[in-house]
Amino acid sequence: MASQNLLEMQQINKVFGSGLSKVHVLHDINFSAAAGHLNLILGPSGSGKSTFLTIAGGLQAPTNGQVIIAGQSLAALSAKQRDNLRLKQIGFVLQSYNLLPYLNVSDQFSLVDRIKPNNNLSAAKLKKLLKELDIAELIAKYPAELSGGQNQRVAIARALYPNPAIILADEPTAALDSQRVEQVGQLFANLAHNEKKAVIIVTHDLRLKKFADQINEISDGHLQQTIVND
């Protein structure tokens, strides 16, 4: 039985500007991500990876085409409904980390509880996650006291804490050494395979290829599937 597609992108185009300043960033993108699969989108800087990811997660709208998340077309939803869908279904790991500087690591998770009180990871599962990412000893620290790699791992944990069905990660290993890449790559693979989540990672980090079930390449806004591992 085929896995359920949790995210679909159909004929997505994204154009910025007009006239002489017009830039066609994404061209006729068709993509789907199934529960239980880790999808890697490889491409160099400027290839459209981040635009792809923010459109996939409903953070910005395509110029045309449609994004379907958990069977719902984002274009058919109100702004409030889209926000609610993102809150419940999607975990974002963004390059900017998006950690609040005035909250320590522990309070970053408490804030999630206030925004989304239900269906987050249990205390035991959060403790296990923090240990897997080797940040359990950092819970009293503030973002400014952490290294880039530590902040990146905290941001990953916070994105996973709401227990989303879809995980969208933008260069999640950019600040990590090879040992940490192994840990994070295996964590994402386990989430896909064991927890039946749809994981989409956009990156230029070739060290993640071995963890992927599906690999696509994006170049100049064109997406091409290269490898599918069953």
Contact yes or no for 184/172 (Cβ under 8 A):
yes
Let me know if 204 is exposed, middle or buried by CB neighbors in 10 A (0-12, 13-18, 19+): middle
- Joined together, the tokens standing for residue 118 give 């239900």
> Could you tell me how far CA 73 lies from the centroid of its own chain?
19
Average pLDDT per block of 10 residues along the chain, 230 residues long: 81 94 96 96 91 95 96 94 93 88 96 95 96 96 95 95 96 91 95 96 95 95 80
Q: In this predicted structure, what is the pLDDT of residue 84?
A: 92
- Of 133, 139, 166, give the one whose Cα is nearest residue 152: 133
Q: In this predicted structure, what is the pLDDT of residue 93?
A: 92
Q: In this predicted structure, what is the pLDDT of residue 229?
A: 66
Q: In this predicted structure, what is the pLDDT of residue 200?
A: 98
Contact yes or no for 2/36 (Cβ under 8 A):
no
- Joined together, the tokens standing for residue 127 give 């403790």
Sequence-separated (6 or more) residues with CB below 8 Å from residue 150:
135, 138, 141
Contact yes or no for 159/93 (Cβ under 8 A):
yes
Residue 146 per-residue DSSP state:
S
Distance CA(18)–CA(7), nearest Å, equals 30
Q: In this predicted structure, what is the pLDDT of residue 1?
A: 38
Q: In this predicted structure, what is the pLDDT of residue 91?
A: 95
Distance CA(33)–CA(216), nearest Å, equals 11
Homologous superfamily of 5-16+23-226: P-loop containing nucleotide triphosphate hydrolases (3.40.50.300)
